[in-house]
Structures are given as C-alpha cells and as structure tokens.
Structure 1
Amino acid sequence: MKKIFHIIILLFSSLLAQEKSEIIRVIGDSLIGKTIDGISFREVIGNVVMTQGNVKVTCNKAIQNLTNNNAELIGNVIATQDTITITSDKGFYFGDEKYIYSDRKLTLKDGHVVLTADSGYYYFNLEKSVFNSNVQLVDSINTLKSSTLTYFSEIQKAIAVGNVNISDKESIIFCDSLIHLRTIKKSNAFRNVRIVNKKQKLTIIGNELIDDGEINFTRIIGNPLLTKIDTTNEGKLDTLLIRAKAFESKEDSVKKLLAIDSVKIIRGELSSVNNYTVLYRDENRLMIKKIKNDKNSPVLWYTNSQLVGDSINIFLSNNKLDSIHIRNEATILSKNEKYNYRFDQISGDKINLYFSKGKLKLTDVKGEVLSIYFMFEKGEPNGLIKSSSSRAKMKFDDNAVVNVSMYESVQSEYHPENLIKGNELDFTIPSFIIYNNKPKKSVLIQGRK
C-alpha cells in the first residue's frame, strides 16, 4: 500500500513539474546580473536571443526578471512561433502565461494576414491576438479597421469592436462591431451598419448584416434603408430611396438586390408600397411583385396616377423613366387635378407605359380592357365615356391625353354630365380601389444617420 502511495506522489509531482512554466533562456553579447529588493535581474545587451519552448524572440537589449520569469525587450523586437511573426520597437514578455505585450506600434504576420495596431497582446499558447487603437487587419481581399480587435490565428477568426469598417475593391461596411471568419468567408456586422458602394453610388443602413462569401449572399436586417444617387443628363440629382424589413443580395450572373416585407419606395415623382422588390443593379430596372399570402397587389404612384398589378417592372434610361410594364389585374387610376372625385380609369391584363425625357407619351393596354374617361369641353365637365375592348392605346402630350384608340370588340357608352355630377364614384371599373398609404419621404428616411 505504501509503495502504491509513493508512486502516486511521484506521479503527481511529475505532473506538477510538467505544468510549471518553462524557463526563459536568454543569450547575447554581454550580460550584467543584479538584485533589487530581493528580485534577481539579468541585463543582456547586443544580439539578444531569448527562447521559451517553441517561442523565439530577438532584440537589441533584454532585461530579464529571473524571479518572476518575464523580460522587458528593447529595440528591434522580433518574436516568432511557427508561422507567427510579431515585430515592434519595444515589448514585454511574460513567461508564466507565455504572452508578449507592446505599448508601441506592432505588426503581426501569420502567412494569411498582416495585423497592425498602436499596442497589443499576443498569447502564444492560445494563438490569440488582442490589439488596440488604430487596428488594421489586411489580407488578399479585405482591409479591416477598428479600435480593438481580437484575432485567433489558428481558426482565422477576427472580432472587431469600435469604429469598425471592412472594405474590398467594391464596397466598404461600417458598424459598431463585427465577427469575421476568413476561412469560410463569413461575416456578421452589428449595430449602426452602413454599406457604401461608391461606384454604384449606393448606401444601405441597418442594424445587422450577415454575409456569406462562399455563396455570395448578403442579408441586412433591422428596418434597413437604401439610398441610391443618380445623375440625369441635365446634371440633376435623382435619388432612389427604399425602406424594407430586410434586404438580400445574391451575387451571380445577375446582380440584384431584394427588398423584402413592408417595402416603401420613393424616386422623384414615383413611389410604391409592396412586399417584394428586386433592384437589378446593372440593368437600371426595378421589379415589384405580388407574393404568396399578399392580400393586396403592389401599388405604384406616378404624378397624379395610381398603378396596381401583380407585377410591375420599371425601366430607366439615362436615369429617367423609360417604361413601366404592369402584368395581371393591371389598373391605372388618374385623378383630375381640379375635380376631386373624377378619376380616369383603365384596366387590362397588361399595361405598358412609355416615356420620353421622363414624360408619359403612350399607354398601351392589352386583354379585356375596361375604361372610364371623364370628358371636358372648354375646361368644363361634360360627362364620361365608359368603354371596353381587346386593346387600347392612349397618346399623351405634357402628361395629358390627346388621343385614344381602341381595337377589337369595342363597346362604348356616353353618360351625360347631369347624371355624373355628385355621383362620380358611382362610375367605376370593377378593380377600382383608392389606396391612401402613399409613402412620404420624411417618414421613409426617419432615423437615418
């Protein structure tokens, strides 16, 4: 029994010895030893080489504290461990915990990234860096800057906090904090997130960003707001604003950005509310679509007109309206500016609107066309015409109808003014609905920073 007990004691003592920190070994051109207040110091000067296990440090001068197993490193400090190299003008090495600290500018390289800061720690056993003040992490694709950054070299994970921004050749992301995983190309940005693409003159703000570089997918949540600034041929600024519950981007052969849920859009005289919008960034096109479980179709307003349909495609040319294509249950209501309850109305399976220099020139309606148009003579109300056909075309001048042509199975009837006055809303097409939720710019940008 005693023999077993002694074996256990010896084994336990051996384990304690193994756990005890390795001694720092220092060599150099000259060595001076001294004791201050019972603490033993050794000052090594010239071509200093300090080692502890697989850690090697070279410098011009080292002051080793033999009692506490640490050392002050002075001049041209270079610390290495496997692929890790840390350089600085000055540092402090702590042997028991096996870490190095510098309060001077320092640089870390691990073969994948270059990490710099005004000060920082590196823990050799953990392969962990904690860098502070003017931190910058650079790899072959991104540059990450922050006030504080923790970097795990083995798993290539960065946690950045304070004044964070990460950029590549196309865009830059600003946020309060960020987690970036290099090997799997994933990033999460938190609070006060702002994405800026200078080439496309596009900015998105939100509260959180999830980015998966392996599948080129990005999601922004937290009631994000998109701002895209364009310039017309006349040099005028034209700003697109989109607010939604979430934005999603999938970079493939077609560069598109999805706005999802509670979408509100404003661009000049054009605005919309819907639950699903696609911005085709390289095509100057917006596509608005009714999705499953939507009670109402998307609504688009332009000048004094309200446009409704299951899908609406908006095409721009030279940053001006070129055409609008409405599909399925397409309806346009145009309010008379002088008479509140008089709405010109037309519906069909398909409606295409064509513009020139930003002004409406032609409306082409196809499939089960129904229309109601209020008539005027010398500016005074003169009844209305109610019509149906297979196709209708309306030409405009200065956004006012100058000619109406109807084709195939045409039927029309005139209703005199004495039957209309006071009863205007009794004369409507079946799809007539007035929507009063047109977005306001001041509300849309509320909370923007």
Structure 2
Amino acid sequence: MKHFYVNIILLIISANILFAQDKITINHADSLVGKTVDGEQVREAVGNVSLTHNNLNITCNRVIQYYNLNKADLFGNVKVVQDTLTILAPQGTYYGNESKVVCPVGATLMDPKTTLKANYGVYLFSQDLANFRGNVRITDNKSYTITSDELDYYRNVQKSYARGNVKVVSDSSVIYSDNLVYEKLIGISTATGNVKIESDSTVITSKKATYYEFEKKSIAEENVKIDFLTEDAVVYGNYAENYETRNYSFVKGKASLIQMETKDGKTDTTFIYSDKMESFRNKPEHYIAKDSVRTIRNDFLSVSQAGYYFRDISGKGGVITLARDPVVWKENLQVSGDSIYAFFKEDVDDIYIIRSAFALQQNEIVNSRYDQISGIFMHIKFLDNQVNYIQVDTNAASIYFVYDTNSPNGANRSTGDVIKLFFKEKQVDKVNIFGKPKGTYFPENLVNTDELRLLGFRIRTDKPVRITPSQ
C-alpha cells in the first residue's frame, strides 16, 4: 500500500512538471511585478528579460505575461530562438498554447539556409510555417531572392508560396508574377498571373509558367510570348517550352513568329504562322513550322503544311523552304510544286521548285488571262523585285498570251525539254525552248481562256493575311 501511494505522488508530480513545462516561464528580469487584471494573473517583467517555453528561448526588454492565457506580449529587441532558427522583431506576442509568435510591426527570420523579412510576421513552431506580409523578402544569401506582398514559407521542405507583386531573382533568371510557388530543394518555380521570365537570351510572358532552375528550362501556357533578345524575333502561341542552354524553343497552338531585320535604314519583317513551331537559335539560326503554315515577308506570301526558315549568318535574309502542298504568291504570280525553296537578301532573289512545278501569272490588263509554265524543275529569277525569267527543266510546257500595245493578240502554247521565259514589265518578252521544241499559236479570235490551261492549273485563293497575336 505504501508503494501505491508513492507511485500516485510521483504521477502527480510528473503531471505538474509536464503542465509547468507547457506554460511560459520567466527565467530572469531586472524587475518583476505581479498583479491581477479583470481576474487574470498578469506579470510584468522589465530589463534583460529571459523566457522559455518548451524548446524555445525568448529574450526582450520588457514582457507582459498573461499566465492563465499562456500568452506573453514582448517589447523591445525581441529575439526568439529554437535550435538553429532565430526570429528578431521590435515587438511581438507569443501564444504558448498554439506555439506561435506574431510580430505586427516587422520581423526577421533567420536560419542557416534562409533569411526572411517583412513588415508583419507570424511563425507557427509546431508546423515550421512562416506567414509574412508587407514588403516580404526571402533569400538564401546565395542563389535566390524572392520579394512579394505576402509569403508562406515551410522551413522543413524549403517551399515558398508567394502572392502579390512577386519577383524571384536567381543565378539564371528573373521571374515576375502575381503568384508563385518556389521549391528550392528541386529548383522548380510555378508562377501564375502576368508571368514574365527573363534570362540571358529570352524574355517569356504568359498567364502560367513553370521554371526548372537546374535545367534552365521553362514551360509556359496561355497567351505565350517569347522574345529572342539576340535575334530580333518574337514567337507567340498557346503553349511553349524553352531550353536556355540548348538555345531551343518549341511552341504549339496558334504559333506565330515575327522576325525583324534592319539594315541600311530599311526594315524587313517575316511573319510565319502555324500550329507548331520550333526555334533553333544556335548558328545557323532556323525555325521549323508544321501544320497550316503561312508565311508573309513583304509581298512574298505562302501556305504549306511544313515550312523551314533559315536565317543568313549575316543576319540579313535567308532561305524559306516549303513542303507538303506548298503555294507561293508574289504580287500576281502564283507558284506551286512538291517543294519550294525561296532565297532572300532583302526581297526575294530566287525561287526553286522541285517536282510538279507550276507557275501562273495573271495579266494586269486582262485579268482573265494567265501566263502558265510547268515541268519537273523550275527556277524563277527576280531582278529589282520583279520576275526576270522563269526556266523549267524536264517535261516543260508553257502558255503565254500575246499583246499588241496592251491589246490582246492571241496566245502561244509550247513544249520542250527546257523552256525559259523572259519577262519585261510583267509580261512575257522572249521565249527560249531547248530539246524537241513544239509550239502552237492561237489567233485572238480562237482564244478560249477556259481551254488554254496546262495540266495542274488551279487558282488558289487561300492567301495568308497578317495576324496580330492576342496578348
């Protein structure tokens, strides 16, 4: 029975000790005054105050302790320490039952990994969670800094949720957004709302984006715009992936490229629209467009299902390659074939058509008449931005209309191994035929424009128009 009572006493003592440990304890003060306010036990300690609660140590200049509420108002040089965590503030309130400190007029949180500052701060020790508001700034003092209006920081996993005027500065990028989640351990930032990612060679804007810091990779969604800073080029789309170290980007969903070239005071702009587009910014810089491809460069227009744009290494001009049902227009000239290659400096200089080559040119005087030429291979040479000659090799055939002082005067139909049409003032001026030449002249009274058509004649009306991307 004696041992039974001893055990009961020990249990009571242990319970009292545990209860006492959960209460805020004032360990030292230069002066200590106790009083009762509205039935509440209140103790005011002043001068070199030291408190403890569980594994927390608190120091300040002055404290008012509400014993029953297990709360302490802290004033002057407040310092709260838990292991490697330190919180500094001009004043604060510590709630023992919730293991929480609230700093209403500014706080600085420090640990070996991070420094966090704001105008207002709350820290929940049981959750290792900081909620800071007003001019928030968090940094690891090495590789990143986040500023925002409000931020939640989970110390154990080093994960930050930032809201309002967010800016993240790291070694490889600067990110702006309305909201952002930053996971430092895996180097991933997920941003939403007015997103902007700046890096060495690109600026990306979108509604949503994820940035992979270790890979220097960005994935952007909705109203995407990528500015290529070194190429005077902008790409738009609904979805994009950008790989900074590889100088490679992929865009899909109403993709469009705007490429500007300025030389000797003249600016030439290339527009390419497609469902999908790839950008390769290493030399030689080039772009690959796929599905519903439309190209506009000055008066050069084209449609196709695949397009390749190679910029000249000089930065002026280049080559546009078209495949899969391509068609090119230049003023009143229409060109088609299996594949088309257009070479530029400022304006187009040469167009090469490989297989099933067909060109037709509408007459400016009689709009119902089209000069035509077809064959396996075709080369169109331009001089001063006008057709100089068209040469067709293999199975060549042509129809061109004759005029006498701008009055219709019949038509010529010719075939041969090679046909070369020379133009002057947008009309056929001379014809050379090589290899088995044959020709037929149709006087004006026998001209039937519906019958004078080569195999493959088709007037295309799907010319591309310039589109302003929505942002």
TM-score (ref. length: structure 1): 0.83
Tell me how far apart the structure 2 counterparts of residues 153 and 254 of structure 1 sit (CA, whole Å).
Answer: 36
Amino acid at match of 1:299: V
Distance 1:90 1:24 in 2: 24
- Structure-1 residue corresponding to 2:301: 271
Is contact 2:89-2:103 (8 Å) kept? yes
* Aligned-residue offset at 1:260: 0.9
1:93 maps to which of 95, 102, 123: 123
8 Å Cα contact 1:23/1:95 also seen in 2? no
Q: Distance in 2 between matches of 1:151 and 1:117?
A: 12
Aligned match for 2:342, one of 314, 320, 325: 314
- Deviation by residue 1:358-387 (Cα, 9 ceiling, x = unmatched): 233333333332111111122222222222
| Contact persistence 1:29–1:44 (CA under 8 A) | yes
Runs of at least 5 residues in structure 1 that lack an aligned partner in the other structure: 1-19, 292-296
2:135 corresponds to which of 92, 105, 108: 105
* TM-aligned CA deviation for residue 437 of structure 1: 2.0
For 1:49-448, what aligned pairs fall within 5 Å after superposition? 49-73=79-103, 77-110=107-140, 111-197=142-228, 199-213=230-244, 216-231=247-262, 233=264, 235=266, 238-283=268-313, 284-291=317-324, 297-317=325-345, 319-420=346-447, 423-441=448-466, 444-445=467-468, 448=470
Deviations 1:82-112 (A, max 9, x none): 4333234542222122111221222222333
2:28 maps to none
Name the Cα RMSD after superposition: 2.8
Between the aligned residues of both structures, percent identity stands at 25
Secondary structure of the 2:71 match is: strand
Question: In the alignment, residue 278 of structure 2 is paired with which amino acid?
Answer: E
- For residue 448 of structure 1, report the CA deviation from its aligned partner: 3.4
CA 81–328 in structure 1, closer or farther in 2 if over 3 Å, else same: farther
Choose 1 or 2 for highest CA Rg.
2
The aligned counterpart of 2:16 is: none
Give the corresponding residue for 2:8: none
Query: CA contact under 8 A between 1:258 and 1:279: conserved in structure 2?
Result: yes
Q: What is the rounded CA distance, in whole Å, between the counterparts of 2:145 and 2:69 in structure 1?
A: 42
Assess, with a 3 A threshold, how the Cα gap between structure 1 residues 232 and 342 changes in structure 2: closer, same or farther.
farther
Does residue 26 in structure 1 map to residue 50 in structure 2? no
- TM-score, structure 2 as length reference: 0.79
| Structure 2: gaps (5+ residues) | 1-21, 23-52
* SS class of match (2:450): helix
**C-alpha displacement at 1:123, in angstroms?**
1.1
Q: d(CA) in 2 for partners of 1:213 and 1:226? A: 18
Q: Distance in 1 between matches of 2:282 and 2:54?
A: 56
Q: Is the 8 A contact 1:23 1:52 kept in 2?
A: no
Q: Which amino acid aligns with 2:164?
A: S
Moved more, 275-284 or 400-409: 400-409
For 2:202, give the aligned amino acid: S
- Of residues 82-91 and 102-111 in structure 1, the stretch that sits farther from structure 2 once superposed is 82-91
Distance 1:398 1:54, change over 3 A: farther
Q: Is the 8 A contact 2:119 2:133 kept in 1?
A: no
Partner of 2:7: none
Give per-residue Cα distances to partners, 1:185-207, cap 9 Å, x unaligned.
Answer: 33221111122235534332221
Q: For residues 98 and 141 of structure 1, what CA distance do their matches in structure 2 show?
A: 29
1:176 and 1:411 mapped to 2: Cα distance? 64
Deviation of 1:335 after TM superposition, in Å, equals: 1.2
Conservation of the 8 A alpha-carbon contact between 2:308 and 2:321: yes
Partner of 1:10: none
CA distance in 2, matches of 1:234, 1:90: 55
The answer on whether the counterparts of 1:23 and 1:69 sit within 8 Å (CA) in structure 2 is: no
